[in-house]
Amino acid sequence: AKSFQVVASEVAMLGFRVMDKDTLGSDGQLAQFYCPLEAVRPGYRCVPLFDEAYRPLPGANLFVKVVLS
Tens of pLDDT, residues 22-68: 767 777 899 999 999 999 999 999 999 999 999 999 999 999 999 98
Residue 3 backbone dihedrals phi, psi, to 5 degrees: -130, 150
Query: CB neighbours of 20 closer than 8 A, spacing ≥ 6?
Result: 27, 28, 29, 30
Q: What sign does the dihedral 12-13-14-17 (CA atoms) show? A: negative
State which amino acid sits at residue 24.
L
pLDDT, tens digit (0-9, with 9 covering 90-100), for 1-12: 789 899 999 999
